[in-house]
Amino acid sequence: MRSEQMTKGVDRAPHRALLKAIGYTDNELKRPLIGVAQSANEVIPGHIHLDKICQAVKDGIRMAGGTPMEFSTIGICDGIAMGHTGMKYSLASRELIADSVESMAQAYPFDGLVLLPNCDKIVPGMIMAGARLDLPTIVISGGPMRTGVCNGQEIDLITVFEGMGKFRVGELTEAELTELENAACPGAGSCSGMFTANSMNCLTEALGIALPGNGTTLAIDAARIRLAKTSGEAIMHLVDKNITMRQILTKEAFHNALAVDMAFGGSTNTSLHLPAIAHEAGIELTLQDFNEVSGKTPHICNMSPGGPDHMEDLHQAGGVSAIMKTLSLSGLLNEDALSVTGKTIREVLAAPNVIVANPETIRPLNNPYHPTGGLAVLTGNLAPDGAVVKQSAVAPEMLEHQGPARVFNSEEEAFSAIVNQNINPGDVIVIRYEGPQGGPGMREMLSPTAALAGIGLDKEVALLTDGRFSGGTRGAAIGHISPEAAAGGLIGLVQEGDQIKIDIPNRSLDLLIDKTELAQRQAAWQKPEAKIKKGYLARYARQVSSAAKGAVMV
């Protein structure tokens, strides 16, 4: 066993002495040692209950003959970090999480790993570490939040963000906004729509690195505790069979994840995280792969923010397994891919309980909500390396749009213009110098998009950025524009009033500018001074790659 490097033989007597100081017995130290990486804390609603989930995981490990060893990572809630300096640290924290899990698993040579994340960057960060380490590994998340209800209507966090805009234009009173605030997030779990956290948790099932139900079983359900215990038992089987992370994370597994992502209309942030995970697994996954899979995969789930359904609706309809079963009927999945069950995807989907229980929540392929996938990658002179939009959340009238640019060099400037109603119907808002290098940290910008929706302009105004958007964003919000402004990308040369043409069906994004004028602007452009000059973000800005390559540190 790998753990014998620190537990076996006379030379390891000092090591055992230290482990016995913790309370481990000789018998426990002779068993497989399983690292349990968890991110429980008191600052994220999706993590507040992870201590209970973690205990269940450890119970499962012990029941199956192993010894669990728990350790922690950091976690940042994008919703709480939104709209201020804290958001600069969110994407960057993904690398810290990956590095911390790697460091612990190398310093303590565990025989296997259980990854227990929830929310935003914590999920991909831990999985990146798992791919890098290539140990027997399983993911069990904290699960999604229950849907909020206010005055008989289902609501979620996005309702509150959009409520800010409605308050600004007099459609909501402050008391009504407070009522939404008090009801939108009813308890523990990752926010209840198909936002980034739930997108990534669902994709762990599609990748084969988590047990069925991981993405959709509610955080507060006893079924989540049982799933955690079963995951603890399952890691022991993986250790016994020496089934490692990279044996599961194959190119075929990533294409399965892309198909499921397109089918349920996941967050645009999956176009950052899946390539970053693939990079750690030694696999190249490009934005072109996203477009190719999107082109042949119908969008069959109408999830918030684009539609009315929430995670508990998807779970009751059959969950991710039912989506995968639907896709498999038309050959859109590679069913020979392996999963942490020890079985192939074909064998997992053959279980009698894998059925679609609600054909409106999970539609058949011949009756989709949209004929192609939820995400689209656009290219053109404004984004030669690519830009990403959640096309399933774009109003039909905004799929093709041309309008004058309204240029802002930060999220704060744009948000101020929106809430003060200085944006006109037809405008194309450009927010730049918010990319991985320029931000630094590639902030999510839910506040501007939610404000546009709140004041009723989401069907008349487009928003472009080299930053990124929340998985909760809806509207013609096109992010990840690469190259970014700070790297000399054309988005840094756009001037107020320039005409910009968006054609989502034909996957194009162009600045309509004369070549001579463009050359003059390029000659005059100067790289701006770094916004942050010391500390982690300064190092991150120097080392991070383009969003088109997953914003990994190189």
Known catalytic residues?
470
What's the distance, CA 332 to chain centroid?
Answer: 22
C-alpha 135/C-alpha 2 separation (Å) is 10
C-alpha 499/C-alpha 418 separation (Å) is 19
C-alpha 190/C-alpha 256 separation (Å) is 23
Please provide the DSSP assignment of 334-345 as one string. -TT-B-TTSSBH
Token pair 């399933």 is found at: 392
Of 204, 214, 220, 190, residue with least CA distance to 319: 214
C-alpha 19/C-alpha 5 separation (Å) is 13
372 dihedral zone (left: phi>0; alpha: psi -120 to 50; beta): beta
Is 469:446 a contact under the CB 8 Å cutoff?
A: yes
Which residues, in sequence order, are CB contacts of 182 under 8 Å at separation 6+?
Answer: none
Q: In the chain, what is the straight-line distance between the N-terminal and C-terminal CA atoms, in Å?
A: 32
HSE on the CB side for 347, CA within 13 Å? 11
Q: Which amino acid is at 236?
A: M
Is 434:498 a contact under the CB 8 Å cutoff?
A: no
Coil, strand, or helix at residue 469?
coil
C-alpha 224/C-alpha 218 separation (Å) is 7
C-alpha 219/C-alpha 248 separation (Å) is 26
The four Cα atoms 484, 490, 495, 497 give a dihedral, to 10 degrees, of -110
C-alpha 402/C-alpha 512 separation (Å) is 10
Number of other residues whose CB lies within 10 A of the CB of residue 425: 10
Farthest CA pair distance, the chain: 77
Phi/psi for 512 (5° steps) reads -90, 95
C-alpha 450/C-alpha 463 separation (Å) is 11
C-alpha 154/C-alpha 166 separation (Å) is 17
Phi/psi for 86 (5° steps) reads -55, -30
CA–CA distances in Å: residue 378 to residues 43, 280, 329, 387, 434:
36, 25, 29, 5, 19
C-alpha 214/C-alpha 210 separation (Å) is 6
